[in-house]
Amino acid sequence: MPIRINLLAEAQAEEELRRKDPVKRIILGAVGLVLVVCAWTGTLVWQAMAKQSELAATKGKLEQLKPRHEQIKRNDQLAVDARQKIERLHYYATNRFLWAPVLNALAQVSTNSFATNITFNRLQTEQVFAELPAVKAVTNAAGQIITPARPEGIVERNRMVVDARDYGTEADATYERFRRAVPESPFFKSTLEPRNPVTLLNLTLGTADPLQPGSRPFRTFVLQFHFAEKFREKSR
């Protein structure tokens, strides 16, 4: 039987060992992994660039729309301001102090029998609006409220001054009866201040009209009507 000698056996064994070398396999695996990561990274970079391009385009559109948006906001604010002004005007129009009912009530008081000796010379009205700051509630040591809180607002003060003549006798004191009769009128009772509704500002001695010789003597008197204040919150 012939004997075969493989002169390349040693080289083949070394080659087989190299193929089975784990380090080489790890290196090949690492290279493959690096290639996959590079491909994935490239994909992400491309997607990011695409998104950046879309973002830039969107920002450009937003910049183009910004002036219009600002104009819409200004128009909305103007509309809100106009609506608030209209509401306030409506509120004041429906809640404002009217002088016609005052004159009507004054005429009704003048129809009393004792008032036939009274004539009016002049009537002056005054209407004042004053801003009042907000006031915090004041409490004592026990926590009880002494002065209640008040929001910021506007107070309306109305008054009327009547200059008249009293042709009655001094004993009748018609001017005083008239002054006391005014707060008893239903209208004035609901609109005048309860503590000091009508005050006598001036009273002169009896005298006759120098321009009308022989006329009846009279006394001039001045009455001031104090109407109750009206407070309105500034938000309204």
What is the pLDDT, as a whole number, of residue 7?
57
pLDDT tens track for 4-24: 665 566 666 666 666 665 666
Question: Looking up tokens 């120098």, which residue turns up?
Answer: 210
- Quote the pTM value: 0.57
User: Is pLDDT above 80 for 207?
Assistant: no
3 state DSSP class of 222: strand
The residues spanned by each domain of the chain are 8-95, 100-233
Q: In this structure, what token pair is assigned to residue 22?
A: 């784990």
Containing H/E element for 109? helix 100-110
Residue 221's nearest CA partner among 122, 132, 144 is 122
What is the pLDDT, as a whole number, of residue 149?
77
Q: What angle do CA 151, 192, 111 make, to 5 degrees?
A: 160
Pairwise CA distance, residues 10 & 128, whole Å: 121
Backbone angles phi, psi at 10, to 5 degrees: -65, -40
Lowest mean pLDDT among 94-98, 159-163, 181-185, 191-195: 94-98
Number of H helices, E strands in the chain: 5, 7
Backbone angles phi, psi at 129, to 5 degrees: -115, 130
Alpha helices in 151-218 (DSSP H): 174-181, 186-191
User: Amino acid identity, residue 55?
Assistant: L
What average pLDDT does the segment 76-86 reach? 87
What is the pLDDT, as a whole number, of residue 8?
60
pLDDT tens track for 117-176: 899 999 999 998 888 888 787 888 777 777 787 788 888 899 999 999 999 888 888 999
- List Cβ neighbours of 167 (8 Å cut-off, separation of 6 or more): 117, 118, 119, 174, 216, 217, 218
Residue 126's nearest CA partner among 88, 164, 147, 99 is 99
Mean of pLDDT over the chain: 82
What is the pLDDT, as a whole number, of residue 70?
87
Lowest mean pLDDT among 57-61, 73-77, 113-117, 173-177: 57-61
What is the pLDDT, as a whole number, of residue 93?
66
What is the pLDDT, as a whole number, of residue 211?
64
Topology given in CATH for the domain delimited by 100-233: Alpha-Beta Plaits (3.30.70)
Pairwise CA distance, residues 153 & 156, whole Å: 10
What is the pLDDT, as a whole number, of residue 223?
96
